[in-house]
Structure 1
Amino acid sequence: MTVTFDRAINPRPSESPVRLSLAPDGVRPGRLDGAWWPRSRDLLIEIPSLVAELDQRWGRVTRITVNPAQWPEIPRRIPAAGHIIHVGWFTTEQDEHTIMVCSYAPPLLELLIVPPATDVVDAARLMSEAADPGGARTASALLGGEDDGLPEREVRTDFLPSAATPAAGTGAADRRAGVARMRAETWPAPG
């Protein structure tokens, strides 16, 4: 289940910024603190860029936890941003679509993990909803398309590269179509 790597790698080109959306500063977040949209399911490659960004915006990251349902390999330690991140996992205690990020500063962050294969329009909607201070849905509820009974909100895209900004048409019908596509996607269990 776990793999330990003692090498520091980060093949991510510097022109590919981390895709991260956090609740606004000074506002009590909703159920989630934001969302992260990794480009793959390889924690060893993805975590260094996430940690580098969070170290600057939030404080030095010390530990993360994930649910192994979404990650084929979980290294126990990952070199990132000049220090080592300790990695843990919970199978039943943690929503399989979240990552918990711990720092020296409280509180910890709970981020929705947007599946890497998600299209830009759906990812923008999910990231916007996860960072919404009024959001009351869990990560699994967001990915499952469960309705919270609240009016539809404007989709933020400021965290996406300008070339990836979704086109118009992110209304309820498009959202339902996106949810249907996401439901059709399944990630294989860790092997």
Structure 2
Amino acid sequence: MASTVHSARFTVPVADSQSPHGTWWPHTRSLADQLTHLVQAWPADRGRISRILYSPPDWDDRPHSVLVNGRRMKTGSFPRDDTHQVTLVMHDGQRRTISVIPPGTSRSDANGLLAGFGDGETERPGWENEGGHV
């Protein structure tokens, strides 16, 4: 089993070679409200996030930028993106992909997905409206 850095709603493997590079369970479908939590949970030793790309169907809002920790962070998306992921664009240009667990997922299911991330056996989280396993 891979070692991970784990918080209540975010998991990222200690080794940075795995993709996706983390799993996140936001509280709501408001991207503008939730990005602060994601940015704060991101390990500082993995680099500084400069921009965030998101999958539009996953969110009720579609901001062009959000205020995170006192600075304006650009966000963007591709109109047909339906990956259920966010992509963190790092200051050095590298990209880190984060799987998004739907906010309405039960605590036990989400905790199982977060705890199982990185073990090679956990499937990518699905969304209720597409027959996912939530």
TM-score by length of 1: 0.56
1:109 aligns with 2:96: yes
Question: Percent sequence identity over matched residues?
Answer: 23
Matched ranges for 1:29-44 at <5 A: 29=18, 31-44=19-32
Bigger share in strand: 2
Instruction: Give every structure 1 segment of 4 or more consecutive aligned residues whose post-TM-superposition deviation is greater than 4 Å.
Output: none
What is the CA–CA distance in structure 1 between the aligned matches of 2:39 and 2:45, rounded to whole Å?
Answer: 10
Bigger share in helix: 1
What is the CA–CA distance in structure 1 between the aligned matches of 2:59 and 2:87, rounded to whole Å?
Answer: 14
Amino acid at match of 1:46: Q
How many residues were matched structurally? 124
Contact kept, 8 Å, 2:13 with 2:21, in 1: the verdict is yes
From 52, 55, 59, give the equivalent of 1:67: 55
What RMSD over aligned residues (CA atoms) do the two structures have, in Å? 2.6
Partner in structure 2 of residue 28 of structure 1: 17
1:134 aligns with 2:124: no
> Cα–Cα, structure 1 residues 62 and 133, in superposed 2: closer, same or farther, change >3 Å?
farther
> Cα–Cα, structure 1 residues 18 and 106, in superposed 2: closer, same or farther, change >3 Å?
farther
Rg (Cα) greater in structure: 1
1:52 aligns with 2:40: yes
What is the CA–CA distance in structure 1 between the aligned matches of 2:96 and 2:28, rounded to whole Å?
Answer: 21
What is the CA–CA distance in structure 1 between the aligned matches of 2:96 and 2:111, rounded to whole Å?
Answer: 19
TM-score by length of 2: 0.77
From 42, 50, 66, give the equivalent of 1:78: 66
> Cα–Cα, structure 1 residues 55 and 136, in superposed 2: closer, same or farther, change >3 Å?
closer
